[in-house]
Structure 1
Amino acid sequence: MTHIDAGAELDPVHPTPIPAPAPRPVGLTAAEVAERVARGEVNDVPVRSSRSMADIVRANVFTRFNAIIGVLWLIMMFVAPFQDSLFGYVILANTGIGIIQELRAKKTLDSLAVIGEARPTVRRDGVAAEVGTSEIVLGDLIEIGPGDKIVVDGECVEADGLEIDESLLTGEADPVVKQPGDQVMSGSFVVAGGGAFTATKVGREAYAAQLAEEASRFTLVHSELRTGISTILKYVTWMMIPAAIGLAITQLVVKNDDFKDSIARAVGGIVPMVPEGLVLLTSVAFAIGVIRLGRKQCLVQELPAIEGLARVDTVCLDKTGTLTEGGMDVTELRPLNGSDESYVRKVLGALGESDPRPNASLQAIIDAYPDGEGWRCVESLPFSSARKYSGASFSEGDGASSTWLLGAPDVLLPSEDPALAETEHLNEQGLRVLLLARADKDLDDPRVQDGARPAALVVLEQRLRPDAADTLRYFEEQDVRAKVISGDNAVSVGAVAAKLGLPGASATVDARRLPTEKEEMARALDEGTVFGRVTPQQKRDMVGALQSHGHTVAMTGDGVNDVLALKDADIGVAMGSGSEATRAVAQIVLLNNSFATLPSVVAEGRRVIGNITRVATLFLVKTVYSVLLAVMVVCSQVEYPFLPRHLTLLSTLTIGVPAFFLALAPNKERARPHFVRRVMRYSIPGGVVAAVATFATYLIARHHYTGEGALDAETSAATLTLFLIAMWVLAIIARPYTWWRVGLVAAMGLGFVIVLVVPWLQEFFALKLVGTTMPWTAVGIAVVASASLELVWRWVDRRFPA
């Protein structure tokens, strides 16, 4: 709150005290700024919008499985023909693709981060100008207002009703009133009033700098998808080690075969155990998702947000700035209790002039009633979302003084006041109504609104977003419940929501009557759809209550009153034109301010999760059957049936190529939890069936073929069985069928046929079907195995639904 010092200077005409004007700080000079830059006293904490190029290359190249494959590749280059080392070149190509896609995503993210970067207002040489956060120097004078984030530590120099929320740092929910001389901490944000502070700590010395540096904006933490894949890879590693050791010993010692051939077959058994392409495709899917959303001016500040929003089942919407556009228009002024309309206009004009940083409602009043001349503001109370009103005391042109409040009628007036009935009628039409009331108490009285006398109703019309109705309809179709949570009057908010076609909009709830206990609040939230008169702390509590009932909650907003809820929600979505504080805590920023972009984000997340689940099943079926084949070979004391070239061919046709297309395909399936369980319940039976059928074919072929070249014939028969089963797995994973999915499966089958019929390809891959009996036996075993696999997977679907 701002008080005018009752200083000694008097106006010669009016006896009202006029404060002696205090010298306004001018900030640093250009020379002082240059001097501090030269000394390194700059806010040089790097804003990491994504991983560095070195980090991207390191993460894609130096992996556990790349190390395993790399060693095996080097061995094969010395002991086997070129064909048996093809898998190494595939890994090189995969790694290159991963690096290129992540670099493309980095370029997109970095360019968007520059657009969405905060630009504080710094006063230098008496002139205020916006600068980049990294351009602030020690001693800079930084101006702040509602919604601004404190970017460096400092000492308050000017305060005009300045209230700062430090809850993100201290956990204290109540805003802190700041006066000149008080400390301000980086990471906090302004909720009311305005002022300026001098930067006392910049760069890595600032309070929040270490946290900001450790928490890279675009991170892969808290992702069920990435965590699930890491868990799977950990299990795979422990399965691989004993199987690989046993296989190597069997091939090198027990069989006592040709050394180079034994090594080749041992490596051929180890390589397919590694799901090397799974991590790559996950990274590529995320990267391409970022690029696609970037083209729509959607800044994804944390990559898991793409995945997270796809899992959301409840989206909480702030009305102003989300369902409605930021601007408003005054449509009517209704004087009350015989108030003179021209006088009321002057009061409104003076109130507009008293606030240097007006919100959307006050800006509409300023546009409609600019005449506040002759009135001098003696004391002001900026608007606060918690109070729901603002106020000012004036010395009027004729020497009289008065105190006025402007805010929510149902907050400023007692429930029996007749003016509320008129307000309710206007709210039912979706109009926003503010009450102008004359107060009898001082502004610094915490109960200043008690006994306030209503003078006029100011009727404002909000501009509906043209895309809001379609977006709400999309969420309804996708079974995502929308909850409108607003600080405005509940009836007014409900009317706006009803205009947009939101189901249940007529069931409005005044949040002041909501229970405070979490369980009871959660039940009320499950039943209601539109909630009005919600305080910032209540928004946060409501998000927590919904989460306590197992809901995955997204919160949208653009004002400082949304910050706490945005931070606690599973996914926070901020508008690009919103306050700096909201953009800082949100995981997704809609830079084009278009609510209609949200369906694209949801669709992108569903594409990533659904498709990675599909391709993970493909990769892990291969891992399971490879480990089991190795175990059966060790137990049976026979040669391993495949060379690396055989499994390179099978992996390319049944996993590598199709997985790439399936991972990037459209997918609108709603994301479901328990990624690991859902993948393994298909991979384990699929791998077991494939391993048993393939080994059965191999053993039958060993009895059928005798003499020189028998091993090649046995390998070809086993390869045919394994390929047909793997193709059936691919056909199941590709469902539901579309023309391109059918074409993809058919093309992979055609590729294998070409290898079998073209002589030089037969020789290159060492594949030649001998006779007719064994090949048809291999086909028959594959058909029985595929039918069994179909039945098993259908039983799994019924017995263990996802």
Structure 2
Amino acid sequence: MCAQCPIRRHHGYVDSIARAETQDTLSPGLTSAEVAERIARGEVNRTSKDGGRTFGQILRANLLTRFNAIVGALFVLVMIFGAPQDGLFGLVILVNSLIGIVQELRAKQVLGRLAVLGQEPVRVRRDGAETAIAPTDVVLGEVVLLGTGDRIPVDGVLDEATALEVDESLLTGESDPVVKVVGDTVKSGSFVVSGGGAFTATAVGDGSYAAQLVQEASRFSMAKSELQTGINKFLGYITWLILPVGVLLAISQLNAADSFAKAVVGSVAGVVPMIPEGLVLMTSIAFTVGVLRLGRRRTMVQELPAVEVLARVDVLCLDKTGTLTDATMDLKELRVLSGDEQGARDAVGALIAAEPRPNPTMQAIARGVPGDPGWTVTDSVAFSSARKWSGASFAGQGSWVMGAADVLLSTEDAHRAGADELASQGLRVLVLGKVGDLNDFEHAEAVALVVLAQRIRPEAEQTLRYFAEQGVAIKVISGDNAASVGAVAAGLGIPGAQDPVDARTLPTDRAELAEVMETHSVFGRVSPQQKREFVAALQSKGHVVAMTGDGVNDVLALKDADLGVAMGSGSGATRSVAKVVLMDDSFASLPHVVAEGRRVLNNVERVANLFLTKTFYSVALALLIGVAGLPFPFLPRHVTLIGALTIGIPGFLLALAPNTERARPGFVPRVLRFAVPAGLACAAATFGSYWLAYNNPGSDLTANQSTATLALFLTSLWALALVARPWTWLRAGLVLLMVAGFALVTAVPWSRDQFQLNFANPGDDLVALGIAVGMAALLTLVLWLERWLGRRSQVASRV
């Protein structure tokens, strides 16, 4: 289209001639030889960086960590001054680093595949013909074709524009579509709301705005996670604790031990368990396993925290079309209201032919009304979700419009009641109307009702029932007629569906809107901007909001929601802003995502309870031993044994176990409320048993350390049992298995010697057993009181 082509404005929307008279007016695009030259010069849409870390960076990031440095230095000291058995904890460096490296390399591969799966093909014109290529294959000077829903892959200048409207909200933050005409610039990262056109690429690769978006979108991010934030806080506190406590312990051991070597080994044994070296690892494993499990269900998670966020969601906003109903519809009836049926069919066929890229609704009508009458288009208005109608003027045939009945027909129109009656049955009703001018669409003369039957997704009812059972409120938000949406929602058993709300009657004040959103569940005639306002209103009430969608009209809401969920067959724009993509379009996948998120959240909390209990009892025990001036009650091998049986092995199994408990906020204070008293109970039982055994003149250091090991194992085991609640046969079996493991180590002479255990004083060991049981009972009572007081305060706050 040339710059001299006539342009008309219809209610703020720019329209131009929909079809070129001949192909000669269109740019033929680059030739294959020109494309090859540009690729050779590097003028192609590929960035110099992929947004991820290189293999060397991954190695350095996982090997050169603060905790690896601390544990590595302690390992070297033990290898110099102690026995090889006391250096078993050094394996943690190797295992942690190896799993971390493998995990990130695996994540890099997953992201690479996701990038390929998520790429929307770009239509370009080469050698005079249209062809589809990958976004990374676009070269400088390329003629790129645009249609409704397309994401703009590179920067350029428009050569052709047909009623073209572009959403630049991802670039500018402005939600209103921008009308584009020939000569205007378009930027990568924006997308087409309606109309079509073509532009010449002026900036590709690192030179385009897309390069910045790709760098941001392709990172393996674990940001915005309450779990990660909480764990990082713990690690920061622990780092500051280790140094002063370690110095105090080292001084006391130099004074109490009878040799420098024993002092060093004792100090190392006290410092090593303070480091929760496996906590970050277990958290990463739990997240990654969750992502991979969902990947097997054709659910692509673009950021790991998305799994966590959906587990916290308490309001799920659904678009009717493409989520509750199948995107494909069937033409049920063409009900002629005036004139002859053939004339109505010709007008419908001509309007469909005038659309550069028919949407699913137009495609469904085309299947029922085949054939293009060959009318010549002189002017057109493309469909958009904001207008909810499209139209065209034809030489010798007048101007025709087709769109929503409640938009094109006034409430006084005689045909409006019939259209509303059909809509109340869950049918989608469009009006074919004739107008004197496209500017005068509000005075359309109804010629026919185009009635479409919507296909309910077979999995929708069961999936909605699952969310209702889980206490997740459903809000159906659609651009369709409110009565039609309400009928579909009622058929699926959604509470409140009998009272649908027409969004055009809603207040604009956010507080007032939030009140309506709280009391209603079905909304029709919702504009794209209103969807965004709905999300903000619900969030203002403290809700964690997930939004599903598949069309360009859903992008703004998907971007603002706590979690955006896109359909795999949806537009490239929706997939680019969503955190979760359902690649097979199955709404039934969402319960699996919720369940996986809950498994990750709850299991990581269990693991954190175990690791931080060990940290707190290690710090408390080091302080008690340091103040008392006693030799440290453990060798590093004792700490390794107890850690493996009460934390490492059960923690790994618990992190991957099924868990469907409802997610709750407050991860950090809840973990502290368990780990602090549990750690103090373990330290008190261990120190009391060790101190009594140490003051027994008939006992030696090895027997004393064995008594302390028994006391710590028993109290730590009870902490594990409390963490594993609610008990099941599998969890009870896990605890009993750890008991059997400890019993086996102490019963077999070789392993008993390797771990230097000697229960030569049964009296001291029985005392240790009694103290451990007493502290376990006290810990249980303290935790019960804490929960009881917490429930009372909640009741009081509600009153």
TM-score range, shorter chain: over 0.9
**Given residue 201 of structure 1, which amino acid in structure 2 is its aligned partner?**
A
CA deviation after TM superposition for structure 1 residue 423, in Å: 1.3
Deviations 1:609-632 (A, max 9, x none): 000000100000000000011111
Asked whether 1:418 is paired with 2:410, we answer no
Q: Which residue does the alignment assign to 1:361? A: 361
Is the deviation greater in 78-87 or in 235-244? Answer: 235-244
Q: Which residue does the alignment assign to 1:517? A: 509
Seen in structure 2, the aligned counterparts of structure 1 residues 607 and 46 have a Cα distance that, compared at 3 Å, is farther
Between the aligned partners of 1:143 and 1:625, the Cα distance in structure 2 is 66
Where in structure 2 are the equivalents of 1:403-802 lying within 5 Å? 403-441=399-437, 443=438, 445=439, 448-706=440-698, 710-800=700-790
The answer (yes or no) to whether the contact 1:49–1:110 under 8 Å persists in 2 is no
The answer (yes or no) to whether the contact 2:164–2:196 under 8 Å persists in 1 is yes
Deviations 1:463-486 (A, max 9, x none): 111111111111111111111100
Q: Which residue does the alignment assign to 1:374? A: 374
Is the deviation greater in 419-428 or in 260-269? Answer: 419-428
**Given residue 197 of structure 1, which amino acid in structure 2 is its aligned partner?**
F
**Given residue 403 of structure 1, which amino acid in structure 2 is its aligned partner?**
S
Q: Which residue does the alignment assign to 1:318? A: 319
* TM-score, structure 2 normalization: 0.95
**Given residue 95 of structure 1, which amino acid in structure 2 is its aligned partner?**
S
Q: Which residue does the alignment assign to 1:77? A: 79
Between the aligned partners of 2:53 and 2:513, the Cα distance in structure 1 is 41
Tell me the secondary structure at the aligned position of residue 449 of structure 1: helix
CA deviation after TM superposition for structure 1 residue 276, in Å: 0.4
Between the aligned partners of 2:106 and 2:319, the Cα distance in structure 1 is 34
Seen in structure 2, the aligned counterparts of structure 1 residues 58 and 483 have a Cα distance that, compared at 3 Å, is farther
Between the aligned partners of 2:275 and 2:576, the Cα distance in structure 1 is 40
CA deviation after TM superposition for structure 1 residue 691, in Å: 0.8
**Given residue 376 of structure 1, which amino acid in structure 2 is its aligned partner?**
T
Between the aligned partners of 1:18 and 1:200, the Cα distance in structure 2 is 24
Tell me the secondary structure at the aligned position of residue 334 of structure 2: strand
Between the aligned partners of 1:262 and 1:685, the Cα distance in structure 2 is 29
Seen in structure 2, the aligned counterparts of structure 1 residues 159 and 135 have a Cα distance that, compared at 3 Å, is same
Tell me the secondary structure at the aligned position of residue 25 of structure 2: coil
Tell me the secondary structure at the aligned position of residue 316 of structure 2: strand
Between the aligned partners of 1:147 and 1:724, the Cα distance in structure 2 is 63
Between the aligned partners of 1:73 and 1:168, the Cα distance in structure 2 is 51
Q: Which residue does the alignment assign to 1:12? A: none
The answer (yes or no) to whether the contact 1:698–1:717 under 8 Å persists in 2 is yes
The answer (yes or no) to whether the contact 2:547–2:557 under 8 Å persists in 1 is yes
Between the aligned partners of 1:435 and 1:304, the Cα distance in structure 2 is 45
The answer (yes or no) to whether the contact 1:108–1:294 under 8 Å persists in 2 is no
Between the aligned partners of 2:275 and 2:147, the Cα distance in structure 1 is 56
**Given residue 183 of structure 1, which amino acid in structure 2 is its aligned partner?**
T
Where in structure 2 are the equivalents of 1:45-124 lying within 5 Å? 45=47, 48=50, 52-124=54-126
**Given residue 110 of structure 1, which amino acid in structure 2 is its aligned partner?**
G
Between the aligned partners of 1:91 and 1:256, the Cα distance in structure 2 is 28
Q: Which residue does the alignment assign to 1:238? A: 240
Tell me the secondary structure at the aligned position of residue 179 of structure 1: coil
Between the aligned partners of 2:113 and 2:49, the Cα distance in structure 1 is 12
Where in structure 2 are the equivalents of 1:135-146 lying within 5 Å? 135-146=137-148
Q: Which residue does the alignment assign to 2:276? A: 275
Between the aligned partners of 1:322 and 1:4, the Cα distance in structure 2 is 44
Where in structure 2 are the equivalents of 1:196-211 lying within 5 Å? 196-211=198-213
Q: Which residue does the alignment assign to 1:14? A: none
> 162, 165, 172: which one pairs with 1:163?
165
Is the deviation greater in 584-593 or in 60-69? Answer: 60-69
Between the aligned partners of 1:262 and 1:329, the Cα distance in structure 2 is 82
Between the aligned partners of 2:155 and 2:731, the Cα distance in structure 1 is 57
Between the aligned partners of 1:296 and 1:217, the Cα distance in structure 2 is 22
CA deviation after TM superposition for structure 1 residue 736, in Å: 1.6
Between the aligned partners of 2:555 and 2:215, the Cα distance in structure 1 is 21
CA deviation after TM superposition for structure 1 residue 372, in Å: 2.6
CA deviation after TM superposition for structure 1 residue 699, in Å: 0.8
Q: Which residue does the alignment assign to 2:10? A: none
The answer (yes or no) to whether the contact 2:51–2:215 under 8 Å persists in 1 is no
Seen in structure 2, the aligned counterparts of structure 1 residues 701 and 21 have a Cα distance that, compared at 3 Å, is closer
Stretches of structure 2 lacking an aligned partner (at least 5 in a row): 8-18, 795-799
Between the aligned partners of 2:410 and 2:482, the Cα distance in structure 1 is 17
* TM-score, structure 1 normalization: 0.95
Q: Which residue does the alignment assign to 1:219? A: 221
Between the aligned partners of 1:506 and 1:657, the Cα distance in structure 2 is 53
Between the aligned partners of 1:52 and 1:556, the Cα distance in structure 2 is 34
Between the aligned partners of 1:142 and 1:54, the Cα distance in structure 2 is 38
Tell me the secondary structure at the aligned position of residue 729 of structure 1: helix
The answer (yes or no) to whether the contact 2:75–2:90 under 8 Å persists in 1 is yes
Count matched residues.
Answer: 781
**Given residue 352 of structure 1, which amino acid in structure 2 is its aligned partner?**
I
Between the aligned partners of 1:421 and 1:765, the Cα distance in structure 2 is 86
Between the aligned partners of 2:788 and 2:303, the Cα distance in structure 1 is 36
**Given residue 95 of structure 2, which amino acid in structure 1 is its aligned partner?**
A
Deviations 1:573-600 (A, max 9, x none): 0011000100000001111111111111
The answer (yes or no) to whether the contact 1:5–1:19 under 8 Å persists in 2 is no
Between the aligned partners of 2:344 and 2:423, the Cα distance in structure 1 is 22
Is the deviation greater in 108-117 or in 564-573? Answer: 108-117
Tell me the secondary structure at the aligned position of residue 367 of structure 1: helix
CA deviation after TM superposition for structure 1 residue 245, in Å: 1.1
Where in structure 2 are the equivalents of 1:164-179 lying within 5 Å? 164-179=166-181
Between the aligned partners of 1:18 and 1:132, the Cα distance in structure 2 is 27
**Given residue 484 of structure 2, which amino acid in structure 1 is its aligned partner?**
S
Is the deviation greater in 541-550 or in 70-79? Answer: 70-79
Between the aligned partners of 1:82 and 1:5, the Cα distance in structure 2 is 86
CA deviation after TM superposition for structure 1 residue 501, in Å: 2.2
The answer (yes or no) to whether the contact 1:301–1:587 under 8 Å persists in 2 is yes
Seen in structure 2, the aligned counterparts of structure 1 residues 591 and 52 have a Cα distance that, compared at 3 Å, is farther
The answer (yes or no) to whether the contact 1:4–1:379 under 8 Å persists in 2 is no
Seen in structure 2, the aligned counterparts of structure 1 residues 119 and 19 have a Cα distance that, compared at 3 Å, is closer
Seen in structure 2, the aligned counterparts of structure 1 residues 47 and 308 have a Cα distance that, compared at 3 Å, is farther
The answer (yes or no) to whether the contact 1:2–1:160 under 8 Å persists in 2 is no
Between the aligned partners of 1:472 and 1:46, the Cα distance in structure 2 is 45
Seen in structure 2, the aligned counterparts of structure 1 residues 22 and 124 have a Cα distance that, compared at 3 Å, is closer
Between the aligned partners of 1:216 and 1:108, the Cα distance in structure 2 is 11
Q: Which residue does the alignment assign to 1:10? A: none
Seen in structure 2, the aligned counterparts of structure 1 residues 705 and 380 have a Cα distance that, compared at 3 Å, is farther
CA deviation after TM superposition for structure 1 residue 48, in Å: 4.5
CA deviation after TM superposition for structure 1 residue 215, in Å: 4.4
Deviations 1:49-95 (A, max 9, x none): 86554444333322211111111111111111011100001331233
Q: Which residue does the alignment assign to 1:261? A: 262
**Given residue 508 of structure 1, which amino acid in structure 2 is its aligned partner?**
P
Q: Which residue does the alignment assign to 1:332? A: 333
**Given residue 304 of structure 1, which amino acid in structure 2 is its aligned partner?**
P
Between the aligned partners of 1:321 and 1:143, the Cα distance in structure 2 is 26
**Given residue 674 of structure 2, which amino acid in structure 1 is its aligned partner?**
Y
Q: Which residue does the alignment assign to 1:343? A: 343
Is the deviation greater in 313-322 or in 17-26? Answer: 17-26
Between the aligned partners of 2:124 and 2:74, the Cα distance in structure 1 is 59
**Percent identity for Structure 1 against Structure 2:** 55
**Given residue 641 of structure 2, which amino acid in structure 1 is its aligned partner?**
L
Between the aligned partners of 2:216 and 2:111, the Cα distance in structure 1 is 18
